[in-house]
Amino acid sequence: MRVTCPSCRTDYAVPASQAPRRPLRLVCPACGRGFRLEPEPRRPAAPTGDALAAAWSERLARALVSDIVVYQPERRREALAQGRVLEEFVPEIAAAWRLLLELAGDDPARLAPVFREALDSLLGAGTPVVPAVP
What pLDDT does 95 receive? 96
Q: pLDDT tens, 64-87?
A: 999 999 999 999 999 999 999 999
Q: Report the alpha-carbon distance of residue 21 to residue 93 in Å, rounded.
A: 51
State the chain's maximal CA–CA distance in angstroms.
Answer: 82
pTM for the structure as a whole:
0.62
Q: Report the alpha-carbon distance of residue 56 to residue 102 in Å, rounded.
A: 13
**Statement: residue 37 has pLDDT above 90:** no
Q: Looking at per-residue confidence, does 16 or 130 come out higher?
A: 130
